[in-house]
Structure 1
């Protein structure tokens, strides 16, 4: 896939290349906030840590083959996943974005996310 097409496909996530590693990030707060609102009474806010918890469930259940390659480094206002293997990180974010766009799938995955 052409890099520009890839970057468009994963929006609102964004791709960052570093020397020797790659990251995919999301400025949280507007994308899929309604999913997190369903568990606001439990303390979920839709912050970067909540996205990290959701992504961990996704990785464990849907893409365990990538579990050794993908790491998370969320912050309050940003979700961030990174890897030294760009192709594996691309596989992860393409599948994660697809899951995010399927309300039934993302709601089901989020039901097992744990508050960080």
Structure 2
């Protein structure tokens, strides 16, 4: 998939290229906020750390082949996943975005997310 097509498909996530690595990020607070709101009483806010917890469950349960390749570096206002392998990161974000769009599946995965 060509990079401009990828950028369109993964929105609202966005692709960033660095000198020796690649990142995919999300400014949190709007996209899928209703998922996090279902567990607000437990302390989930939908911040970058909460997204990283959700992505961690996704990788462990759905994409264990990427566990040692994709890393997370969240902040309060941003989710960020990164890797030195651009193809594996593309694979991750395409499958993670598809999962995020499946309401039943993403809620099921989020039910096992843990607060950071």
TM-score under structure 1 normalisation? 0.99
Correspondence for 1:22: 22
Q: How does 1:29-48 map to 2 (within 5 A)?
A: 29-48=29-48
* Deviant stretches of 4+, over 2 Å: none
- In structure 1, distance between residues paired with 2:20 and 2:45: 33
Does residue 91 in structure 1 map to residue 91 in structure 2? Answer: yes
- In structure 2, distance between residues paired with 1:52 and 1:3: 24
Correspondence for 1:77: 77
What's the C-alpha RMSD, in Å, of the aligned pairs?
0.3
Task: Identify unmatched segments of 5+ residues in structure 2.
Answer: none
Listed one character per residue, the Cα deviations across residues 27-63 of structure 1 (whole Å, up to 9, x for unaligned) are 0000000000000000000000000000000000000
TM-score under structure 2 normalisation? 0.99
- In structure 2, distance between residues paired with 1:66 and 1:25: 17
Give the Å deviation of 1:76. Answer: 0.1
- In structure 1, distance between residues paired with 2:2 and 2:55: 25
Aligned length: 116
Give the Å deviation of 1:13. Answer: 0.2
- In structure 2, distance between residues paired with 1:6 and 1:43: 33
Correspondence for 2:59: 59
- In structure 2, distance between residues paired with 1:111 and 1:93: 20
Task: Identify unmatched segments of 5+ residues in structure 1.
Answer: none
